[in-house]
Amino acid sequence: MGAVSNSFFSPSIFTPPLGKNPLFSLKSMGNITMISKGPSKWSMVSSKLSESGIEEKNPTSNGVSDSKSRMEEYNIAMKRMMRNPYEYHHDLGMNYTWITNNLIVGSQPQKPEDIDHLKEEEDVAYILNLQQDGDIEYWGIDLQSITKRCRDLEIRHMRRPARDFDPDSLRSGLPKAVSSLEWAISEGKGKVYVHCTAGLGRAPAVAIAYMFWFCDMDLNTAYDTLTSKRPCGPNKRAIRGATYDLAKNDPWKEPFDNLQEHAFEGISDWERKLIQDRVHSLRGT
């Protein structure tokens, strides 16, 4: 197993108005844990993320240069389509951040040993994967070996795919993804690891939506709580849109695009209860 290293980003101290919510007795604050890649070699596949706007290139014979090229393409696409300055460094291995005492957000596990680490070091009992098949193929990840290791360790592996860099796909997928996350947390059998590819867009958005809808926070507080610990740029508009979709499903409602810029950054108690009921109803779907 690779070495564990903290301080990928400098720790930041942030104390949001969390009141007495026991969910936020944090194990660590502002630290990103990284699991470095071991010396083992693996070949890259020729699949691409065409739906993410990453240009297809022919596979190279040099695994190192091919991996570097893929990272460059991915980060260019992320900057162009998400308009944020963050980058994903696949060659450094899996990285993650504790958000609450039972919720971890991070990048994709790359090998079965990453699952061993999550189980042994972090007591993870559930993994929520937001990647599409094309994402996994693009990085040459052997998902079957990872899910097998999850079964061996009695970790529940769940998938709620959303298209990378696509706020509309994220918006439509958030309710079901949050439903899976909320169910896993409510089971209380261990920690929940939520990941996409880089852990900078889809996964943090799901965690933020969960905190907004289920933890008595407004959207900005939930957003700042997460991004103060894990610097990233999840799409706030997609979360607002999903909130609107759940709270306002009557046929005569005003279209979301016609609303003010900050609409649905806060919700009333009855709207929150309605959202929670609708998210609960999605369990098992």
Q: Is 279:213 a contact under the CB 8 Å cutoff?
A: yes
Q: Angle at Cα 136 formed by Cα 130 and Cα 139, nearest 5°?
A: 130
- The answer to whether the beta carbons of residues 157 and 129 sit under 8 Å apart is yes
- For the chain, count helices (H), then strands (E): 9, 7
Sorted by sequence, the CB contacts under 8 Å of residue 49 that are 6+ apart come out as 74, 77, 134, 135, 138, 164
Structure tokens at 94: 């899996």
Residue closest to 262 by CA, chosen among 278, 246, 239: 239
Of the candidates 41, 50, 238, the one whose C-alpha atom is nearest the C-alpha of residue 135 is: 50
Catalytic, 196? Answer: yes
Confirm if 105 and 234 have CB atoms less than 8 A apart.
no
Known catalytic residues are 196
